[in-house]
């Protein structure tokens, strides 16, 4: 084991109680004893680890968290018990019996087919009546951000996000304002709207812990794309700004002041 | 809710929250993850007969919840001891050593996600490497490598933090 290898092992030293049986660690500790510079480095590393450990262990959970957990768990438990009762037990709620199903097999099959057909008609009519304007696109993306957003790729590397988007068939070569390029990236995802690919990139809003959501799609895919000049807006708790450039339409949103968004897209 | 369930919540909710915060970096996400973990526990706890396994079950479940929420994580190549880079950290400055909680959480967000969970468990709990490997579902060698590389990145990240996040310099 050389000095660099010893350092890599010693970085993760905690105590002899926890690490005393780790042969790699013991070897590194022996090397340390015979090397004054390594010993000094190790002492500082131990102080660093101790400081970080103390800082993290001091974190207090929110005051209401315990009560919220208990209240929520009670509710989940009640739901579970209700479900268990409905499958058998003392509940008197009538349940479809096997003999009933057998006797009325054909009627039930017909009823199921009609239900499926009606469901399919409902789906296609609501889908065709969905707002296909830019406002419709914007609202759909922002609802996604608020309710269910997930990133396909988690990384701080903006280039890696674009490479992922390119590989997934999403927009990837779009221009961004300089201030937004300088903003830390959190990750991204390839989405779809009305069969058009959409890129989502998430950023860390400057000076806060909020996430910024950027949605990008082909401007030709949407009637009446936004102007090249950024326009502010609001959607529920999100402030937004939208603009078009080089054939792409953009929406940037976040729980940050409008001025923050305006500064980022200048 | 029965007394046993409350006892488990009281024993572990703070530690789980700290783990969740180390992973997510956001207080609201951390609270959600912690609650969700206990909801799963509320439904499935009869399946855990050995009470000594409860803690690691909770941490494993929370970790899984976090990964599901984050969907997919970019994988980083494992670096073995024999391939260690020459840029291991120098002696940390006092500013890096004297860190406060928010500074550490902020710095953790900046390290590779693939290393973050191992580093968080390394600092937060007195788990052995075997236990950390079980929670994360990876081999022990991978755990050690991730912890070493993660700590090196954490030191660099903390060196870049603004002064107020780092704490006072002596």
Nearest beta carbon to residue A41 from set B91, B96, B122:
B91
Nearest beta carbon to residue B151 from set A11, A18, A68:
A11
* B125, A23, B149, A38 alpha-carbon torsion, rounded to 10°: 110
Contacting residues of B for A57, CB less than 8 Å apart: 18, 123-124
Report the percent of chain A where pLDDT is more than 70. Answer: 84
Contacting residues of A for B22, CB less than 8 Å apart: 56
Which chain B residues in 48-67 lie under 8 Å from chain A, judged by CB atoms? none
Range B35-53 average pLDDT? 85
Q: Which residue has the tokens 């050593």?
A: B97
Q: Please report the number of interchain residue pairs, chain A to chain B, with beta-carbon separation below 8 angstroms.
A: 151
Q: For residue range B56-100, what is the model confidence (pLDDT) as tens digits?
A: 999 999 999 998 887 644 444 444 433 444 355 555 555 555 568
CB contact set of B127 (below 8 Å; sequence gap of 6+) = B121, B135
Q: What pLDDT shows up at residue B170?
A: 28
Q: Does A255 touch chain B (CB under 8 A)?
A: no
CA max distance for chain B: 55
Q: What pLDDT shows up at residue B75?
A: 42
Q: How far is B43 from chain A (nearest CA, A)?
A: 6
Q: What pLDDT shows up at residue A187?
A: 87
Range A227-245 average pLDDT? 92
Q: What pLDDT shows up at residue B167?
A: 45
Q: Does A234 touch chain B (CB under 8 A)?
A: no
> Which two three-digit tokens encode residue B71?
């969907």
Q: What pLDDT shows up at residue B153?
A: 93
Query: Are A65 and B35 an interchain contact pair (Cβ–Cβ within 8 Å)?
Result: yes
Strands (E), chain A: 153-154, 185-193, 196-204, 211-218, 231-235, 238-245, 248-254
Query: HSE of A147 in the Cβ direction (CA atoms, 13 Å)?
Result: 7
Q: What pLDDT shows up at residue B160?
A: 78
ipTM of the complex: 0.83
* Other beta carbons less than 10 A from residue B156's beta carbon: 16
Q: How far is A45 from chain B (nearest CA, A)?
A: 7
Range A145-173 average pLDDT? 85
Nearest beta carbon to residue A65 from set B17, B42, B123:
B17
Return d(Cα B170, Cα B50) in angstroms, integer. 48
Q: How far is B35 from chain A (nearest CA, A)?
A: 5
Nearest beta carbon to residue B27 from set A14, A58, A62:
A62
Does residue B162 or residue A41 have the better pLDDT? A41
Q: What pLDDT shows up at residue B52?
A: 83
Range A174-186 average pLDDT? 90
Contacting residues of B for A22, CB less than 8 Å apart: 129
For B71, the closest chain A residue by CA position comes to A152
Query: Are B41 and A44 an interchain contact pair (Cβ–Cβ within 8 Å)?
Result: no
Return d(Cα B85, Cα A8) in angstroms, integer. 9
Contacting residues of B for A165, CB less than 8 Å apart: none
Q: What pLDDT shows up at residue B169?
A: 31
Residues facing residue A213 across a β-bridge: A202, A253
Range A261-266 average pLDDT? 90
Q: For residue range A38-74, what is the model confidence (pLDDT) as tens digits?
A: 999 999 999 999 999 999 999 999 989 999 999 888 8
Q: Count how many residues are written for chain A.
A: 266
Alpha helices in B78-139 (DSSP H): 94-97, 101-110, 113-124, 129-136
CA A195 to chain centre: 22
pTM: 0.55
Range A158-162 average pLDDT? 90
Q: Does B88 touch chain A (CB under 8 A)?
A: yes
């Amino acid at each position: 084991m050389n000095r660099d290898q010893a350092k890599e092992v010693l970085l993760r030293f905690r105590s002899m109680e926890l690490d005393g049986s780790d042969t790699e660690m013991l070897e590194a500790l022996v090397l340390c004893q015979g090397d004054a510079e390594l010993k000094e480095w190790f002492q500082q590393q131990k102080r660093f680890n101790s400081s970080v450990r103390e800082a993290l262990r001091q974190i207090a959970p929110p005051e209401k968290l315990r009560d919220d957990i208990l209240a929520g768990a009670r509710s989940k438990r009640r739901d579970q018990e209700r479900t268990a009762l409905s499958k058998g037990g003392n509940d008197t709620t009538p349940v479809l019996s096997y003999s009933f199903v057998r006797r009325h097999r054909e009627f039930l099959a017909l009823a199921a087919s009609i239900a499926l057909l009606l469901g399919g008609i409902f789906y296609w009519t609501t889908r065709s009546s969905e707002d296909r304007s830019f406002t419709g696109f914007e609202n759909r993306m922002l609802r996604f951000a608020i309710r269910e957003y997930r990133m396909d790729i988690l990384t701080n590397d903006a280039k890696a996000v674009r490479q992922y988007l390119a590989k997934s068939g999403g927009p990837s070569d779009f221009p961004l304002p300089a201030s937004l390029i300088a903003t830390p990236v959190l990750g991204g995802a390839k989405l779809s709207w009305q069969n058009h690919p959409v890129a989502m990139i998430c950023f860390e809003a400057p000076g806060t812990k909020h996430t910024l959501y950027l949605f990008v799609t082909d401007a030709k895919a949407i009637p009446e794309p936004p102007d090249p000049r950024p326009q502010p807006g609001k959607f529920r708790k999100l402030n937004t700004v939208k603009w078009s450039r080089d054939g792409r339409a953009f929406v940037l949103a976040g729980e940050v002041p409008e001025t923050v968004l305006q500064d980022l897209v200048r | 809710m029965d007394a046993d369930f409350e006892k488990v919540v009281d024993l572990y909710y703070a530690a789980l929250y700290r783990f969740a915060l180390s992973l997510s970096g956001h207080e609201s996400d951390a609270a959600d993850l912690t609650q969700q973990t206990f909801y799963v526990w509320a439904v499935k706890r009869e399946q855990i007969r050995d009470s000594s396994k409860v803690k690691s079950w909770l941490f494993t479940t929370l970790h899984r919840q976090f990964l599901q929420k984050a969907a997919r994580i970019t994988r980083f190549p494992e670096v073995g001891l024999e391939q260690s880079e020459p840029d291991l950290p120098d002696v940390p400055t006092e500013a890096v050593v004297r860190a406060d909680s928010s500074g550490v959480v902020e710095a953790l967000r900046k390290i590779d996600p693939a290393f973050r969970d191992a580093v968080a468990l390394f600092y937060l709990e007195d788990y052995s490497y075997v236990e950390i490997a079980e929670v994360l579902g990876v081999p022990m060698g991978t755990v050690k490598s991730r912890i070493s590389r993660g700590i090196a990145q954490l030191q660099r990240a903390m060196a870049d933090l603004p002064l107020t996040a780092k704490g006072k310099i002596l």
